[in-house]
Amino acid sequence: ACFYLASEEVDPPKVPWLWYGMFAAAACTVLAKGLIGVALPGAIVFAYLLLGNRWTILKRVPWVRGMALFLLIAAPWHILAALRNPDFLYFYFVREHFLRYLTTIHARTEPWWFFVPVVIWALLPWTALLPSSLAALARRSGRGLRRRLTASPELFLWLWAGIVVVFFSLSHSKLIPYVLPALPPLAILAAFKAEDLTEGRTVVTSWLRGIVLVALLGVTVFGGAFIVAGLGKVKSFGEPGQVLMPVLLAGVACAALAILSAGLVMARHWKGALAAMALCSAASFLCIWSAGPTIASARYTKDFARYIQEHAKPGEPVFSYRFYPQTLPVYLQRPIGVAAFEGELEFGISRLSEEERRTRFPKPEEFALLWNSPVRVWCVVDRDSLRKFDADGLAQPTILMEGKQVLLVTNRGPEGAGSGS
């Protein structure tokens, strides 16, 4: 964004700050997400310069001062991490960049088209305006790709979104948040098209109306799903029959506003329809926001941490079994052991001494020795892993607290559970 604004800015005093903002933003992104913070923006800018034939822009970039700023922000942490951890450079650059992208090392395999429906659903109902935006760009730029595309905000935004989606679609590791950077440019493109509709600058075809109505149907179904969940008909949302009023009201608002929007579209009242669609988008967000605490509570560990703090004696070990509840150490304000699980901790675990590895990250048979000993052990386990206790040679635990998917258990009877309080 800073690159485009700097390349188009006509007020000279503002231009240097935008260029430096570009370098600073890239450095912060590298700190947050790695080399992708340079690779993706670089690819987007390169494609824009190539298709728009605007290479002269590069002459205006303050490369020396900009790179100095970039290194000042991004380099210190990387240097200190490499000095402190001899394996850091391999782990960070090779494993977490190239191997993550080119192999299935992290077991996050999805089909190549995985992100397409993700982006479509994430922007509903505004997704319906994007085909018209793309068609308009193609018309303005000439027929096909045989002619040079004209540099424009729309071209830059489409390249921004498209390169992000294509890049991660080619990856062998796919998670939904990967394509979040594609949403802002698509939202701006939808806003451009919405403005054209309200100002009468675009021809409203039956094709456009049909796509918008299909999108609103999708939002209606989305809201309806939350109505069903709010009425207690979805097991993962709570006890059967339990009415979740915030979820129910959000779902009703979402579905009702989608239906209202559809009616206004059919009546060709575009200003009213777009206003209702904006409210519909807000209601869609409320659906997710209202359901968030209910979904998160499935693996909620704050109450477990409080119970352990109140009842555990000093020195009694706390473990998770066959999974890693990342919030538990935070609530507990102390490290925990992780038994029979490695996941993304694998590389770090492999660098521990054997003694420390056995103590903090024991294998099932090693944890069984501790669990079956006289030492009281506190353990957070999910329901599926609890069923494996017998097969793993662990004595059946005493259940102290139960969540929707996770439980707090101990290897000693309840008579001693409160002895430390």
Q: What is the pLDDT of residues 285-330, one digit of tens each?
A: 999 998 887 777 767 899 999 999 999 999 999 999 999 999 999 9
Q: Beginning with the edge strand found earlier in the chain, give each strand of the sheet holding 406-410 in spatial order.
A: 337-339, 318-321, 378-382, 406-410, 398-402
Split at pLDDT 50, 70, 90, the class of 143 is low
Residue 261: strand, helix, or coil: helix
Under 8 Å between Cβ of 159 and 44: yes
116 vs 270: CA distance, rounded Å: 27
Residue 133: which region, alpha, beta or left (left: phi > 0; alpha: psi -120 to 50)? alpha
Whether the model clears a pTM of 0.75, i.e. scores above it, the answer is yes
Cα gap 96→35, rounded to integer Å: 10
For residue 125, whether the previous peptide bond is cis, meaning omega lies within 30 degrees of 0, is yes
Residues facing 398 on adjacent strands: 410
pLDDT for res 421: 32
Give the pair of three-digit tokens for residue 256: 């009702």
Q: Which of 190-194, 196-200, 215-219 has the lowest mean pLDDT?
A: 196-200
Report the C-alpha gap between 227 and 36 in whole angstroms: 39
Cα–Cα distance for residue pair 416/421, rounded to 1 Å: 10
Mean of the pLDDT values across residues 57-85?
95
